[in-house]
Structure 1
Amino acid sequence: MHKNWVVILFLIFFTAFLLLPGLSKSSLWDRDETFYAEVSREMLATKNYIIPRFNEIDFLEKPPFAYWIMAGSFRLFGVGEFSARFPSALFGIGTVLLTFFLGTFLFDRRTGIFSSLILSTSLFFLIAGKSAITDIYLLFFFTGSLLFFFLGSKRKYCYLVSYGLTGLAVLTKGPIGFLLPAAIIFLYLLFNKELRQIKDIHLPAGILLFFLVVSPWYLAIMKTTGGKFFSEFICRQHLYRFFHPMQGHYGPFYYYIPVLIFGFFPWSVFLPAAVWVKSEERREKSRAYFFLIIWMAAVFLFFSVSKTKLPHYILPLFPPSCILIGKFWSKEKKPFLKLSLFFFLGISILFFLSSVSLFWLKPDFTSPFITKGVADQRSDGVFAFSLLTINFALLVGGGLLSLSFLRRKRLKRVFISLVAIIFFFISFFSLSVVPEVNKLRAIPSLAKMAAKGSPEDLVLSFRWFEPSLVFYSRHRVQRVNSLSELEKSLKTERKIFCFIQEEDYREIKDKINLTLLAKKEGLSENKGRISLLLLTN
């Protein structure tokens, strides 16, 4: 037991050193981070914790749990980047611990340690754990619900904990928080010929607990918004999203294969060898292997069939993948290890060459930017993208180092070198690369200028919109799509701030009575290079 506490404390500090540094080093990114942070800010400001609102309009795309947590963080630390992202880091640390416990329970403590270290150094997990998005919350509850279901065979009360965590998953992401864990459990019992076990999992009490967790908010929101909630949240955001691509997020059935290869990097290169298990090993731990394979397959197939696709949707298959790879590394014989390390080196070289190619493929990212009226910043992206290239060179060096250890048959050092190189990679990326790239972004610095005005000021956005305008201006942003609408909005005695792209301003500047306050050429996450102007009366 003492050894477990030592491991737990080590994992907490190790993961914290990966996730916490750099949380405030960049502005929130469009569009997910700024959407969720602004909803949480408005929730805190209005004290309305039932109806999520964005830009003072009902925002019914997601349930409220993540907003509640983020609003609580804002209350403790103030509204800002760190407080928006800090809860994600905590839930990330929690998920690493859950993976340790699950790997230990299914196999042994050695596997649990390897599994948790693998998860804490996986690329998409690190991105999610350092971002103000809901997926890391879902990952925690998803993993916890399945862990406690398995623990229920030893301690019956764990089944009730599993039901409660499933309810919190539904409060975080909607019905998917219940449907996927339930499908995994059902398929596991079905193929294991243990459906009779359902009578032992406290189903009536569990269902009651589940509804006690879920019902208060869902009943309150349906009573408050009526059919609007059902049509937007259930019909559009779940049913329609599953059967039709939304907001340009689509892809072929095999979409998640490259996503898994690059998003689960560097450990994805070991996944085929980890899944390939000799028959005698499979028989020895058949229930554990079977459970993990079903978990992975259910998540992968569900989101592959779905018409709307986003890379972070498959985060819930990371814990079972990590445990399988953790078991692979805990064994004395590791088949295909050399081949896997060559794949690691190849992908690292691909990352490196891709970063180098940006200087030729995206010259507009590195050419000079013009800034007027805001604080001086670097004039181009050469320095930022040079740092990115150096960062990927670290991966190439790590691949060569791990192969040299393998050649000398020092397998423990191979694993340690992989963990260490990702630790240094993400630290350098968070503390050096991201801040420099952030300096090139056009929107936050201009939006903060509007925030310095009065709450009564009128803030407009002409012919384009990003949610960061709302979060950083601290105002409701009125979207204006035509010159006639703009002229109508200008008939006011209030102070006006108007965000407009330079090409649109050239078209209408002789027809409006607004003066240029500031100009920022830079990058936008969704539009590439833009020239953004802030006008005022």
Structure 2
Amino acid sequence: MRLDSDQAGGTENLSTKKHLSIILVLGIYLFFLGNQGIFITDPVESNYALTASEMVQSGNYISPQIYGTYWYDKPIFFYWQLASAFQIFGTNEFAARFWPAVMGILGLLMTYVFTRKLYDAKIGLFAALILGTSFEYWLISKTVITDMSLFVFFNAALVCFYLGYGSEKKQYYYGAYLFAGLATLTKGPIGFLLPGLIIVFFMLWRRNFAELKHMKLLSGSLILVLVGGSWYYIMYTIHGTIFLETFLGIHNFLRATVSEHPKDNVWYFYIVMFFIGFFPWAFIMPMALKKIWTQKKWPELDEKTGFLLIWLFVVFAFYQIVATKYTTYTFPYLLPIAILAARFLAERCKFIMKIVAFNVVFYTVLTFWVAIPYCQQFSAKTAAVIVASAKEPDMIVGSYGDYHTSAVFYGQTQIYRMEKAKNINTMLPKAMSWSSKNVMPFLAEENLADKKNVLMLVDDDSVDRFKKDMAGNWLLIGQANQEFLFRKQ
């Protein structure tokens, strides 16, 4: 079945312009609301924020650094986004959350345009509204991580592929290669390998191998290599094999084969995440499916539906196989799920709009009553302010217990991770080991015995141990949330 870009249901009540206005207003309201008051949290957000701020300070926009040390955890694109926002808006929470919010809006617009071409404008509007008010989409649009940028580029590659496959406009294929390259520059090889796997399964299902000659394989591959591969080549020429061993070896191969969080490596992990991430729509869909089952009116498994199903099931199955389970890994499959949900619920316009209105109120309350207080509680921003006011020239600042990168980000000062001298060597970054993340500066506790000008951040769970382990007279000079600040007398 080929695409008909002029197809429009007779039940359309709103113009495309009005639809786009609704989507923009919804996205701007939900994804930007309260962002200036949502503190940067540990451990994930602060790593990205600190790396981008060091990028701006150093002027090095090629090699990511954190704590003044080269950092090979993620590719460069999201750091570029953060750095650009810091330069425009300053180094603050609004700037850090600016691009996730913008990409979230772009993701909704892409969903609308693509669904409109697949079905009609009404289903396109519903798909965008359903996606934008699902819990995981709202959350990631306000979170300082790579996943929203990956969502847009990853899914844009598949959207462009299908638009090229389903029409006479084969130039869409160039967009597939371009966006796959940007996804690779955002997250790594998965940015082109997984969309490619989805396309392979779809082509095998359709058995339309004649289409291969229209898919711009040579010129498109060149675009993919130039966009997605140039930075990797430059990094290799600068840093050599250590970059490949760390980025590809640890953060890709090791993560895929050895669980970083073994307690999460259970078969039902992503099933649970589906119901959380697609809330509340995940609990509404069974009602629609029950109605279809009782009436025996199943939608035709046409080419469009098949592509969407392959899209979502390949993503789910792939990450089900991967050893490390992360809550956001399957996030890209929310786009085809939202389109299918909109198609199932297309005749229940009032019901959808009521749920959307409820969600807008719900996320407004969640922003001010949960997100802002929670992030204030679990960020070291307030502690960093106390450190900055108490710190003197040549003063050593240490962190005992949990290390909070957000204190470094907000305080813009070096903070040492305190450990026993005998333990430090075992914790330093090593090849093919999760210790590769320990790039913060270490300092042996024993080295402070003869030091007098010292500040120490101690988390509340480690205060008693700190008083037993650390020699000297320590005076409590401040407390912020779960952090205590001691000064050596």
TM-score, length-normalised on structure 2? Answer: 0.86
Q: Which residue number corresponds to residue 467 of structure 1?
A: 405
- Partner in structure 2 of residue 207 of structure 1: 221
Percent of aligned positions that are identical: 28
How do 1:403-418 and structure 2 match up within 5 A? 411-418=348-355
Counterpart amino acid of 2:66? F
Q: Does 1:486 align with 2:445?
A: yes
- Aligned to 2:485, the other structure's residue is in SS state strand
> C-alpha displacement at 1:425, in angstroms?
0.4
Deviation by residue 1:65-117 (Cα, 9 ceiling, x = unmatched): 00000010000001011110111000000000111112111111111111000
Which whole-Å CA distance do the structure 2 matches of 1:147 and 1:95 have between them? 11
How far is the alpha carbon of 1:454 from its aligned partner?
6.3
Give the one of 279, 299, 309 matched to 1:265: 279
- What is the match of residue 532 of structure 1? 484
Aligned partners of 2:40 and 2:379 also within 8 Å? no
How far is 1:281 from its partner?
Answer: 6.1
Q: Evaluate the alpha carbon distance shift between residue 223 and residue 19 of structure 1 in structure 2; reply closer, same or farther with a 3 A threshold.
A: same
The equivalent position to 1:420 in structure 2, one of 349, 352, 357, is 357
Match of 1:19 among 8, 28, 31: 31
Is 1:131 aligned to residue 143 of structure 2? yes
Question: 1:187-232, CA deviations, whole angstroms, 9 ceiling, x for partnerless residues?
Answer: 1111111122111110100000111112321011111221111111
Partner of 2:9: none
Gap change, CA 1:69 and 1:455, over 3 Å in 2 = farther
Aligned counterparts of 1:12 and 1:59: Cα–Cα separation in 2: 36
Matched, 1:323 2:339: yes
- Range with bigger deviation, 231-240 or 269-278: 269-278
| Larger RCO (alpha carbons 8 Å, 6+ apart) | 2
Look up the match of 2:382.
445
| Equivalent residue number for residue 108 of structure 2 | 96
Shift of residue 57, structure 1, vs aligned partner: 1.9
Match of 2:11 in 1: none
Q: Aligned letter for 1:93?
A: I
1:187-198 equivalences under 5 Å are: 187-198=201-212
Letter in 2 for 1:515: L
| Equivalent residue for 1:431, pick from 346, 368, 378 | 368
Instruction: Work out the CA distance in 1 between the residues paired with 2:289 and 2:69.
Output: 47
CA drift of 1:247 comes to 4.5
The answer for the alignment partner of 2:432 in structure 1 is none
Judge conservation of contact 1:37–1:70 (CA < 8 Å) in 2: yes
Q: Which amino acid aligns with 1:458?
A: I
* Alignment partners' CA distance in 2, 1:459 and 1:216: 39
**SS class of match (1:479):** strand
| Residues 504/519 of structure 1: CA separation in 2 closer, same or farther (3 Å cut) | farther
Closer, same or farther: CA 534–65 of 1 in aligned 2, 3 Å: farther
CA distance in 2 between partners of 1:83 and 1:503 (Å):
38
- Judge conservation of contact 1:254–1:304 (CA < 8 Å) in 2: no
Paired letter, 1:161: G
Q: Quick check: 2:133–2:359 contact (8 Å CA) kept in 1?
A: yes
- Aligned 1:130-169 pairs, distance under 5 A: 130-153=142-165, 154=167, 155-169=169-183
Aligned residue among 321, 327, 332 for 1:305: 321
**Counterpart of 2:306?**
290
The alignment partner of 2:38 has SS state of: coil
Asked if 1 retains the 8 angstrom alpha-carbon contact of 2:379 and 2:406, the reply is no
Residue 270 of structure 1: how far off its partner (Å) = 3.7
Between 220-229 and 483-492, the greater mean CA deviation after superposition: 483-492
8 Å Cα contact 1:496-1:536 kept in structure 2: yes
Give the direction of change, closer, same or farther, for the CA distance of 1:101–1:519 in structure 2 (3 Å limit). same
User: In structure 1, what residue type is equivalent to 2:329?
Assistant: Y
Distance 1:282 1:455, change over 3 A: farther
Preserved CA contact (<8 Å) 1:25 1:430? no
Contact 1:270-1:325 at 8 Å conserved across structures: no
Following TM superposition, by how much is the alpha carbon of 1:486 offset from its aligned partner in structure 2, in angstroms? 2.7
Segments of structure 1 that go 5 or more residues without pairing to the other structure are 332-410, 523-529
1:284-327 CA distance string (max 9 Å, x none)? x6011000000010010111111101111111010000000011
Distance 2:199 2:232 in 1: 25
In 2, Cα distance between equivalents of 1:6 and 1:74: 33
Q: How many residues align?
A: 447
2:136 is paired with a residue whose SS is helix
- Residue 299 to residue 120, structure 1, CA distance change in 2 (3 Å): same
CA shift, 1:513, in A, is 4.8
Q: Using the alignment, how far apart are the partners of 1:504 and 1:531 within structure 2? A: 14
Instruction: Name the residue aligned to 1:347.
Output: none
Return the alpha-carbon distance in structure 2 between the equivalents of residues 124 and 286 of structure 1. Answer: 29
CA distance in 1 between counterparts of 2:378 and 2:410 reads 13
CA contact (8 A) 2:39 2:379 kept: no
Equivalent positions of 1:349-360 (< 5 A) are none
- Equivalent AA in structure 2 for residue 475 of structure 1: T
112, 125, 146: which one aligns with 1:113: 125
Structure 1 letter corresponding to 2:340: L
Aligned partner of 2:445: which letter? L
Contact preservation (8 Å) 1:111, 1:327:
yes
Paired residue for 1:498?
456
Instruction: Confirm or deny: 8 A CA contact 1:163 1:207 kept in the other structure.
Output: yes
Q: 1:31 to 1:439 in 2, by over 3 A?
A: closer
**Separation of aligned partners in 1, 2:319 and 2:288:** 22
Contact 2:472 2:488 in 1 (8 A): no
Equivalent of 1:237 in 239, 243, 251: 251
